[in-house]
Amino acid sequence: MTDVKKLFIKTYGCQMNVYDSERMAEAMGADGYVLTETAEDADMVLLNTCHIREKASEKLYSDLGRLKPLKQAKPGMKIGVAGCVAQAEGDEILRRMPVVDLVVGPQAYHRLPEMARAGRQTVDTEFPAEMKFDLLPERKAARGPTAFLTVQEGCDKFCAFCVVPYTRGAEVSRPVDRILSEARDLVARGVRELTLLGQNVNAYHGVGPGGDYTLGRLLREMAGIEGLERLRYTTSHPNDMDDDLIAAHGDLPQLMPYLHLPVQSGSDRILKAMNRKHTAEQYLRLIERIRAARPDILLSSDFIVAFPGETDADHQATLDLVRAVGFGAAFTFKYSARPGTPAAEKPELPAEVGDARLYELQAWITQQQRAAQEAMVGREVGVLYEKPGRLPGQMVGKSDHLHAVHVDDPSGKVGELVRVRILSSATNSLAGQRLR
Ligand code: SAH
Ligand code: SF4
Ligand code: F3S
């Protein structure tokens, strides 16, 4: 640990990649690397990639193309590829892009420092028995009052369109004591809100003191951590929302009234073809139960349009479901065929069909999102200040319902959780006044 070297990390994809990038930065920190903001002045560039849709994976190759001249000008520079493309394509990346020095899959991040010291190589396909987080150094960084904490990784669901079970492997849950100690450590560093992460976070089943823990039990335990004011979790599968987890939404004031619960489609025929193992009706009944436990909860979802075989009637069923639920937000995607998944064997719909359906669905979602924001006007909510706003004396934070809120508060401090009266709604944020 003599000379300081600079590391630039670019993160694509989901929140789990964001969390992983932080952990990799810390692992490299122990080897003398400090983070830098640009690739130009880096000794090592790490691209933490996403494989979920074709566009996401293609970004890797266009970024590598841009890095090539940089490396030619600075031959000592190392370029690493991590994340889900690394897992899916492995050695192929080295063959296709000689500019790359190392390829490391999501389960091998603890080996990154050692790989960076060595020559050109790949470590990807092994899914070790012990979870990487427990092989990585303790977390040191906590920038700001909110943080992610991975509690579960991998997926056993095998939705017909999805690469995640192949890139992240089978479901693994971290033991409760590790999660609690990481959470306490983060709180001691100023974190007030934790978002528990997992590809299938509500499938969590970890071992802890006194037996097995479900996500509901884990949340109840975490709600007892002094100074931890807010809890969230993502992403959930509808089939893993058990009674205790639903009840926790009513019981725990720390558990915020916002739930991301992907449904993908409103057509039973398409849900079946997607291997989602639930119907639209079952999803609607589930939403009713969640709303009974926490009436003011805001729901968000993911949708895929133009899945192979989707008819206009199927698409209409999705719009019906959207109208029946009333979402606070949602992500909408056009189906993208992913190599190695069962759905990729089926003929695709014409691109224009997907574009039109995406547009129509998006219009409904936007309308619902605006309505949900408008409904907040006049209400009193909690806001956790995350940073100063662009205007002098202004603070910005997230409400309980995960809306961005601007507050005029010259004496406000980052990390304060304050009560705010919402005064108005703009396109993507709310404005409010602090109550004293
Ligand atoms: N584990 C999470 C996230 C999966 S990826 C979950 O189960 O919800 C996030 C979203 O990307 C998915 O919910 C799905 O809507 C979308 N997605 C996944 N694979 C896709 C594909 N092949 N084409 C288009 N969208 C996809
Ligand atoms: Fe992918 Fe389905 Fe698993 Fe989510 S539940 S990660 S969409 S396979
Ligand atoms: Fe992408 Fe992998 Fe996350 S494919 S969405 S980075 S789990």
Over 80: is that where the pLDDT of 342 sits?
yes
| C-alpha–C-alpha distance, residues 218 and 126, integer Å | 29
Helix (H, G, I), strand (E, B) or coil at 315: helix
Tell me, what DSSP letter sits at residue 138? P
What are 210-250's pLDDT values in tens digits?
Answer: 899 999 999 999 999 999 999 999 999 999 999 999 999 99
Place of tokens 């009193």: 380
Annotation: CATH topology of 380-434 = OB fold (Dihydrolipoamide Acetyltransferase, E2P) (2.40.50)
Q: At what angle do helices 215-222 and 176-188 cross, to 10 degrees?
A: 30
Considering only CA atoms, which of 123, 51, 46 is closest in space to residue 84?
51
Instruction: State percent of the chain over pLDDT 90.
Output: 88
pLDDT of residue 140: 63
For the CA of 52, the nearest atom of ligand 3: 4
| C-alpha–C-alpha distance, residues 153 and 131, integer Å | 9
Considering only CA atoms, which of 430, 393, 161, 391 is closest in space to residue 298?
430
| C-alpha–C-alpha distance, residues 341 and 209, integer Å | 39
What are 180-189's pLDDT values in tens digits?
Answer: 999 999 999 9
Domain boundaries, the chain: 5-124, 132-374, 380-434
Over 70: is that where the pLDDT of 126 sits?
no
Over 90: is that where the pLDDT of 304 sits?
yes
For the CA of 163, the nearest atom of ligand 3: 4
Find the ligand nearest to 14 CA.
Answer: 3
| Residue 112 near ligand 2, beta carbon < 6 Å | no
- Ligand 3 pocket, Cβ-based, cut-off 6 angstroms: 13-14, 16-17, 50-52, 83-84, 163-164, 167-168, 199
| C-alpha–C-alpha distance, residues 144 and 148, integer Å | 11
In this structure, which residue's CA is closest to atom 3 in ligand 3?
Answer: 14
pLDDT of residue 238: 98
| Residue 53 near ligand 2, beta carbon < 6 Å | no
Alpha-carbon distance values, 176 to 95, 160, 193, 374 (Å)? 41, 31, 18, 39
What are 403-414's pLDDT values in tens digits?
Answer: 999 999 999 999
Over 50: is that where the pLDDT of 1 sits?
no
Name the band, by pLDDT with cuts 50, 70 and 90, for residue 141: low
**Would the CA dihedral through 401, 403, 406, 411 be positive or negative?**
positive
Phi and psi at residue 175, in whole multiples of 5°?
A: -65, 150
Helix (H, G, I), strand (E, B) or coil at 81: strand
Residues 121-141 as b or e (16 or more Cβ within 10 Å = b) = ebbbeebeeebbbeebeebee
Radius of gyration (Cα) for the chain, nearest Å? 22
Phi and psi at residue 402, in whole multiples of 5°?
A: 70, 20
Find the ligand nearest to 341 CA.
Answer: 1
Mean pLDDT of the chain, nearest integer: 94
Considering only CA atoms, which of 415, 411, 10 is closest in space to residue 186?
415
| C-alpha–C-alpha distance, residues 312 and 92, integer Å | 39
Over 80: is that where the pLDDT of 119 sits?
no
| Residue 162 near ligand 1, beta carbon < 6 Å | yes
Find the ligand nearest to 48 CA.
Answer: 3
Over 80: is that where the pLDDT of 131 sits?
no
For the CA of 161, the nearest atom of ligand 1: 22
| 5-124 homologous superfamily | Methylthiotransferase, N-terminal domain (3.40.50.12160)
Tell me, what DSSP letter sits at residue 211? E
Q: Span 380-400, mean pLDDT?
A: 97
pTM: 0.94
What are 13-63's pLDDT values in tens digits?
Answer: 999 999 999 999 999 998 899 999 999 999 999 999 999 999 988 899 999
Q: For strand 417-425 and strand 380-388, is the pairing parallel, antiparallel, or unpaired?
A: antiparallel
Is 39 within 8 Å of 110 (Cβ atoms)? no
Considering only CA atoms, which of 77, 78, 76, 89 is closest in space to residue 49?
89
- For domain 132-374, is the CATH number 3.40.50.2000? no
Over 50: is that where the pLDDT of 88 sits?
yes
Point out which residues pair with 80 in neighbouring strands. 46, 102
| Residue 158 near ligand 2, beta carbon < 6 Å | yes
| C-alpha–C-alpha distance, residues 7 and 267, integer Å | 46
Find the ligand nearest to 83 CA.
Answer: 3
Is 286 within 8 Å of 262 (Cβ atoms)? no
What are 168-206's pLDDT values in tens digits?
Answer: 999 999 999 999 999 999 999 999 999 999 999 999 999
Over 60: is that where the pLDDT of 2 sits?
no
| Residue 336 near ligand 1, beta carbon < 6 Å | yes
Separation of 17 CA from ligand 3 center, angstroms? Answer: 7
For the CA of 199, the nearest atom of ligand 2: 6
